[in-house]
């Protein structure tokens, strides 16, 4: 079967509520603004309303992606939502979005590889299109509502994490030179208990003890080696370039997990590629986990920084630790 998957549409959404760094100076009764601005270049972020949830953000991003691809919801064959802040523990967020969207012909499932989720889902959706002609249009969404799961007194998390959703439509094409080019998944499971939400599921069901120790909220348990992301991201990028037999300098844009600007800069420096080829959005949106890469993609497309024919490298990482990379001709 000679089919490939191409990105036919993009969309994104962030809640309306803007929280600037000064809010956290007051909340925590200490100056955190300077550190945030100098070390991660986050100046503000968006958080949901109390009555907003993950599915609401997904819906907004999905409508924009469908409009961009000039498709109706009825034309979708599959919906995959990558999130570790789901609507419910069960059933899937994707099933609710399918119903609300009116995507009556689409199958659904969620994926959780934490903040590597969107790139993992992008890779998975590609495999469906390449291997099975039942699938011609797949909606892939990365979504994050971590504000719902933050300890408001923990400065290591409350200042960084934010909410948003980004979506793409993958569509079948007969042009193997267009769209998907290569991908890779990696995991370093020895870090599985270093950062996460450890209460509320089967390992630690909700109890008074879980609530007392705030194990149902996001925690950094141990500090990750600072070189871990830049070393892994750059290695994955070089491996993609090698598999494609292209010079790393020919990559037009790198869409990388947006948790730390310095890690992104270090990665680009290792690759000896200009830093401006890694489009960033954390400055105004904070860290939006599995949503940050598709949100950055949509932002770059809307600003004309990405055009048709560009070679894009997507590189994501998240708790687990999970890593995912994919190369696409846009």
Q: What are 261-313's pLDDT values in tens digits? A: 999 999 999 999 999 999 999 999 999 999 999 999 999 999 999 999 999 99
Q: What would the two tokens of residue 3 be?
A: 């089919």
Residue 167 has pLDDT above 90, yes or no: yes
Confidence of residue 139 (pLDDT cuts 50, 70, 90): very high
- Residues sharing a CB contact under 8 Å with residue 263, sequence separation 6 or more, in sequence order: 226, 229, 230, 233
Paired sense of beta strands 78-82 and 107-111, if any: parallel
Which residue ranges form the domains of the chain, and what is each CATH number?
Answer: 4-176 (3.40.47.10), 180-329 (3.40.47.10)
Residue 243 has pLDDT above 70, yes or no: yes
CA distances from 116 to 73, 83, 130 (A): 26, 9, 22
Predicted TM-score (pTM) of this structure: 0.96
CA distances from 265 to 97, 257, 269 (A): 36, 12, 6
Mean pLDDT of all residues in 222-239: 94
Q: How far apart are CA 138 and CA 149, in angstroms?
A: 29
User: Hey, how many other C-beta atoms are within 10 angstroms of the C-beta on 174?
Assistant: 8
More confident: 146 or 223: 146
**pLDDT score at 226:** 87
- Tens of pLDDT, residue by residue over 199-217, are 999 999 999 999 988 999 9
Question: Among all chains, which residue has been given the structure tokens 């300890």?
Answer: 151
Residue 8 has pLDDT above 90, yes or no: yes
Question: Among all chains, which residue has been given the structure tokens 């491996």?
Answer: 239
Reduced 3-state DSSP string for the chain: CCCEEEEEEEEEECCCEEEEHHHHHHHHCCCCHHHHHHHHCCCEEEECCCCCCHHHHHHHHHHHHHHHHCCCHHHCCEEEEECCCCCCCCCCHHHHHHHHHCCCCCEEEEECECECHHHHHHHHHHHHHHHCCCCCEEEEEEEEEHHHHCCCCCHHHHCCECEEEEEEEEEEECCCCCEEEEEEEEECHHHCCCEECCCCCCCCCCCHHHHHCCCCCCEECCCCCCCHHHHHHHHHHHHHHHHHCCCHHHCCEEEECCCCHHHHHHHHHHHCCCHHHECCCHHHHCECHHHHHHHHHHHHHHCCCCCCCCEEEEEEEECCCEEEEEEEEC
Q: Alpha carbon 258 to chain centroid distance?
A: 9
- Tens of pLDDT, residue by residue over 36-94, are 998 889 999 999 999 999 999 999 999 999 999 999 999 999 999 999 999 999 999 99
What average pLDDT is seen over the chain? 96
Omega before 321 within 30 of 0, i.e. cis: yes
The helix-helix angle for 117-131 and 292-302 (nearest 10°) equals 80
**pLDDT score at 1:** 61
Residue 318 has pLDDT above 90, yes or no: yes
User: Hey, how many other C-beta atoms are within 10 angstroms of the C-beta on 132?
Assistant: 14
Phi, psi of 59 (to 5 degrees): -60, -45
């Amino acid at each position: 079967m000679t089919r490939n998957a191409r990105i036919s549409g993009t969309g994104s959404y962030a809640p309306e509520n803007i929280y600037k760094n000064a809010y956290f100076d007051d909340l925590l009764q200490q100056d955190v603004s300077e550190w945030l601005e100098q070390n991660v270049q986050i100046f503000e972020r968006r958080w949901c309303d109390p009555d907003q949830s993950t599915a609401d953000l997904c819906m907004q991003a999905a409508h924009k992606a469908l409009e961009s691809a000039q498709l109706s919801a009825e034309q979708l064959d599959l919906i995959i939502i990558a999130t570790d802040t789901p609507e419910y523990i069960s059933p899937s967020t994707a099933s609710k979005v399918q119903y609300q969207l009116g995507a009556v012909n689409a199958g659904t499932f969620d994926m959780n590889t934490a903040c590597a989720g969107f790139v993992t889902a992008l890779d998975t959706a590609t495999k469906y299109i390449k291997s099975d002609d039942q699938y011609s249009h797949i909606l892939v969404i990365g979504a994050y509502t971590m504000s719902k799961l933050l300890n408001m007194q923990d400065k290591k998390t409350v200042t960084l994490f934010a909410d948003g959703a980004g979506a793409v439509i993958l569509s079948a094409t007969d042009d193997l030179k267009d769209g998907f080019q290569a991908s890779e998944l990696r995991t370093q499971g020895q870090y599985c208990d270093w950062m996460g939400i450890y209460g509320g599921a089967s390992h630690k069901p909700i109890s008074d003890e879980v609530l007392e120790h705030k194990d149902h909220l996001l925690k950094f348990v141990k500090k990750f080696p600072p070189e871990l992301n830049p070393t892994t991201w750059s290695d994955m990028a070089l491996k993609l370039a090698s598999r494609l037999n292209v010079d790393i300098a020919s990559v037009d844009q790198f869409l990388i997990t947006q948790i730390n600007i310095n890690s992104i800069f270090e990665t680009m420096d290792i690759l000896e590629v200009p830093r401006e080829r890694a489009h960033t959005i954390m400055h105004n949106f904070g860290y939006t986990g599995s949503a940050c890469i598709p949100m950055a993609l949509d932002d770059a497309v809307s600003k004309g920084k990405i055009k048709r024919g560009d070679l894009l490298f997507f590189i994501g990482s998240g708790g687990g630790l999970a890593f995912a990379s994919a190369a696409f001709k846009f």
